[in-house]
Amino acid sequence: MAHKSIDPQQIISYQFPLTTFTYTERDVALYALGVGACGSDAVDEKELKYVYHKDGQGFIKVLPTFAALFITGATDSFAKLPGLQFDPNLLLHGQQYIEMHKPFPSSACIENRMEVAGLHDKGKATILEVETKSYEKKSGELLCMNRTTVYLRGAGGFSKSSPPYSYRKYPANQVLTVKIPSSQPFAVQEDCTHQSQALLYRLSGDYNPLHSDPTVAGVAGFSRPILHGLCTLGFAVRAIIKRLCNGEPTMVKSIFGRFLLHVYPGETLITEMWLEGSRVLFQTKVRERNKAVLSGYVVLGQLTSSL
């Protein structure tokens, strides 16, 4: 039976309002600390530049996953999509794809343009993909693109024909499949998260109480508040930059992450990396439970700077 609360044509043709996001060097440094920069060594020569003007550098460097902050609150706007009704408590953030176009300035005003990039009926759930292109307002230059994939559980079954409804506005081969090799990883990075990691990361703008309130976490089925998935992604990509890019964040061209399982603050993250041409496949596990929590890849290259 078709799900009456979903009108696919209305959803994919929706024009989101423009949004802006302004940040300063303080936001950049706070984010870097939130994803573990200098967490095990306060004078780490490959990471101090994310939080401090080292050796006379003119501005601090920005991690590419800082892009994820530009879409803070985006899931709230999904609830306003006409033709789409779902229970926000049943929304799962499944995947994140980030495409870098220019290195980020250390402070800027960003203009975000959003559009629905995919809509798929999976029977018991609907998969919604939303693209956000972020432009520096002053120059008009495109800095990055985020594609957020969410699973709306209980909101599927709206197709009126067979096969089930599926819409995608980007090339199917743009995001490649991730098959973790059985061989030994090329490099491994271990990071200890702090008990307060989620409380620190939330100061970058994601105030979902699932990551801070024990009662809310309990209702959701967790023994205590969990770490933000995008925080775990930040840890993994920072580890890859440190191990394989000699600490140079502008070598990252694109990032894909699939969220597999929750992380509790205080757990140890082990990120394993395999080289596959210009692509780094990675898998992040938690040592304490020996569970994979994140998998994906990072494509390396060299961004040309306009700074």
Residue of 6, 120, 206, 257 marked catalytic: 206
Strand (E) or helix (H) holding 295: strand 291-300
Whether residue 229 lies in the annotated active site:
yes
Q: What sign does the CA torsion over 226, 205, 257, 151 have?
A: positive
- CA distance readout (Å), 306 to 143, 302, 303: 10, 13, 10
CA distance 82 to 300: 38
Q: How many helices (H) and strands (E) does the chain have?
A: 6, 11
Judge residue 297's burial from the number of C-beta atoms within 10 Å of its C-beta, 0-12 exposed, 13-18 middle, 19 or more buried: buried
Query: In whole angstroms, what is the distance from residue 273 CA to residue 208 CA?
Result: 30
Residue type present at position 56: G
Q: How many Cα neighbours within 13 Å face the side chain of 27?
A: 18
Considering 27, 121, 211, 270, which one is annotated as catalytic? 211
Burial letters 217-251, b for 16+ CB under 10 A, else e: beeeeeeebbbbbbbbbbbbbbbbbbbbbebebbb
> For 204-208, which contacts have Cβ atoms below 8 Å and span 24 or more sequence positions?
204/27, 204/30, 204/31, 204/34, 204/69, 204/72, 205/69, 205/72, 205/73, 206/72, 206/230
Q: Give the separation between CA 83 and CA 102, rounded to whole angstroms.
A: 35
Q: Which of 229, 234, 257, 296 is catalytic?
A: 229
Q: Is 226 a catalytic residue?
A: yes
- Tell me whether residue 140 is one of the annotated catalytic residues: no
Bridge partner residues of 179 (DSSP) = none
Of the residues 11, 127, 226, 240, which is catalytic?
226
Separation between Cα atoms, residue 276 and residue 236, nearest integer Å:
17
**Residues taking part in catalysis:** 206, 211, 226, 229
